[in-house]
Amino acid sequence: MEKDLKTGTTTVGLITNAGIVLAADMRASMGHLAYDEESQKLYKITNHIAVTNAGSVGDSLAIIRFLRGHAQLYEVERETKITPKALASYLANVLNANRYYPYSVQFIIGGINKKPELYELTPFGGVLERKKYAVSGSGTELAMTTLDQNYEVGITEEEGIALAIKAIEAGKKRDIYSGGKSVSVLVIDAQGARDLSESEVSKFIEKAKTPQKS
């Protein structure tokens, strides 16, 4: 039987004073193989909502299509943009309806609706609203420890990006299913959702490695 491609992964989302930062490692595995070191795990659903995915790649991509289609239909039918909470509720219903043959996935949904909103979704449709940060994947404990020790309410966007990268790097260092070429980062603020370039991420990583002068 062919083994599934999985993102056994480390992903995080955190709230800043300007919006949301989402980040993820870039490794996809197949059994004991590090199959892909440039895997995408951050997806824009609308210009103000995005998600991280962990688990089966096939299941995740199918759900991403559901979410994008539902968001477009919601806007046409109601003549207003879908909110992060409404999208989280829709995804919870999809996952719960398939709980006997569950999708092998775990999502973090982040977005802006007047203020930043952040949600974790379990494979069986549980919704957990997070007021500070959210973590998913096999590197959860490592990333969460980093966030527990360093996160502060009111963190700036730049500080949030640096901390999210630091949390992902912690997962990559010790979790064998997390890794990849670099770290993917997506920011959502008043200007919309945007991906950071590889060079932008590299600057944050290099800055973190540089000893700070006292």
Q: What residues are annotated to the active site?
A: 9
Q: Where are the alpha helices (DSSP H) in the chain?
A: 57-78, 84-97, 140-150, 157-174, 198-209
Question: In this structure, what DSSP letter does residue 44 have?
Answer: E
Q: Got the DSSP string for 106-154?
A: EEEEEEEESEEEEEEE-TTS-EEE-SSEEEESTTHHHHHHHHHHH--TT
Q: Is 50 helix (H, G, I), strand (E, B) or coil?
A: strand
CA distance 20 to 167: 15
Q: Distance between CA 178 and CA 131 in Å, rounded? A: 25
